[in-house]
Structure 1
Amino acid sequence: MKAIWNGQTIAESNNTVVVENNHYFPKESVKAEYLTDSSTHTTCPWKGLASYYSLTVDGKTNPDAAWYYPDPKDAASQIKDHVAFWKGVKVEA
């Protein structure tokens, strides 16, 4: 699977974890140079507290376009150290 935004591959992995129709990429498969920490947080009742990254590619920024669960609840333990994408990021095979 690949995550692509603004013409760049942000992440690529054969080992994504699919939860609620979202592909979670192993953190080591995500190109850190495109990520910037965000102060945004949301809560999922069964996954826990989510943190966000903004993406910056070629001078364009996509705020809060990636999220992850630094310390997921037990029911979502399979997505620890994984990152998912939205907000116009294409995830494709």
Structure 2
Amino acid sequence: MKALFNNQIIAESDKTISFDGSTYFPKSSIIEKYFKHSEKSSLCDEKGVAYYYNIEVNGEFRDEAAWCYSETTEYAKKIENYVAFWRGIRITYDM
């Protein structure tokens, strides 16, 4: 699977996980030069604490368009250190 923004691949993996309506990519599959840590975090009682990333590709910017649970609850262990996307990031199923 691929995650794309502004016609650029920003993550690619055949080891994604579908969980609670989102597709999660291994953190190792993101192209780090497009990601900057946001100051935002949020607490989900079911999953744990999520940390957010801002994404910038070729001058196009999306605030907090990706998130990662680095410490999860037992319920969400399988997505620990995986990254999911929203806010205009396109997910495709072709490899």
TM-score normalised according to structure 2 size: 0.94
- Aligned twin of 2:34: 34
Aligned CA RMSD, in angstroms, stands at 0.7
Q: Deviations over 1:13-71 (max 9, x none)?
A: 11101111211000111100100000011111110110000001011210000000110
- Aligned twin of 1:21: 21
- Aligned twin of 2:68: 68
TM-score normalised according to structure 1 size: 0.96
Output the CA distance in 2 between the equivalents of 1:30 and 1:51.
15
User: Moved runs in structure 1, 4+ residues, more than 4 A?
Assistant: none
Q: Give the share of equivalent positions with the same residue, in percent.
A: 39
Output the CA distance in 2 between the equivalents of 1:44 and 1:13.
26
- Aligned twin of 2:51: 51
| Structure 1 unmatched runs, 5+ | none
Output the CA distance in 2 between the equivalents of 1:60 and 1:37.
16
Output the CA distance in 1 between the equivalents of 2:90 and 2:55.
13
Matched length: 93
| Structure 2 unmatched runs, 5+ | none
Output the CA distance in 2 between the equivalents of 1:36 and 1:7.
19
Output the CA distance in 2 between the equivalents of 1:80 and 1:32.
18
For 1:76, what is the secondary structure of its paired residue?
Answer: helix
- Aligned twin of 1:11: 11
